[in-house]
Amino acid sequence: MHRWALFVIWCLCLFGNSGVQAQVVATDTLAEILRTGVLKACIWPDYFGISYHNPRSGKFQGVDIELSRALAKDLGVKLEYVETDFGKLLDDMQQGKCQIAMMGVAVFPSRALRVDFSQPYLRGDAYAVTTLNNTAIKNWSNLDQPGRVISVLKGTFLEPLMRSRLKHASLLVADQPGERERDVESGRADAFITDYPYSQLMLANTDWARVIAPDSPVQMTDYAYAVPKNDPIWLARVNAFVSQIKKDGRLKNAAAPNNLLPMIITE
């Protein structure tokens, strides 16, 4: 019998008959994965360095592509990707479309109302992307000025962050991936706000982008794996995986080729 199945049985015995129904519900996710032999992982295929679908090679690449494969291997099951984005991720998870989100999900309170988070494995700050020929924006302090328009992607942690921080500039919320880039390139916006991995995509794949790092930390944010709410057995299994990849070097090895070593959390 699988060792995690044994752990489930132990939990049932520990909590007694009065807790059996709750515990059975709580073990559904892991039990389903082991029963079907398939792990369904939500990913955002446009997330460079994290869960990116490379249009040139046609292959998935990124730290969470490597680590999702590692998790499936540890569980002894096949891996199935469910493509989503941050605007619809929480709905997709609550509708049971995937059993885990492995796509650099930023941890913040509003998301924690609808999903549970593992231990964090990455940590990073916000970055601005503008054009090479935009001479008005030279540093982070130039962003929040009257008449400026700053774009963010709907559903990301950067939307509430910039809503709270911008006092003079206008906020433009992009509904679709790729829209904020078009906002800036076309001149509809002066800059868009993103995170470190996506800023690297802009530098690697465009000839017009310039990345502006904050002068001091804006909001250091933890990234973790999201799992269905109120499923402690599955959450414990995912946390065990996160702890193990930190210890055995798999996190570091997955981050290195994606230029994400500055973001990894090893403790």
pLDDT at site 26: 44
Spatial separation of the C-alpha atoms in residues 150 and 169, rounded to whole Å: 7
Instruction: Give the CATH fold of the 3-120+225-263 domain.
Output: D-Maltodextrin-Binding Protein; domain 2 (3.40.190)
Tens digit of pLDDT for each residue in 220-244?
999 999 999 999 999 999 999 999 9
CATH architecture of 126-212: 3-Layer(aba) Sandwich (3.40)
pLDDT at site 22: 36
Spatial separation of the C-alpha atoms in residues 46 and 57, rounded to whole Å: 14
User: What is the location of CATH 3.40.190.10 in the chain?
Assistant: 3-120+225-263, 126-212
pTM: 0.79
Nearest Cα to Cα of residue 83 among 115, 117, 36, 40? 40
Those residues of the chain that have pLDDT short of 50 are: 1-2, 5-26
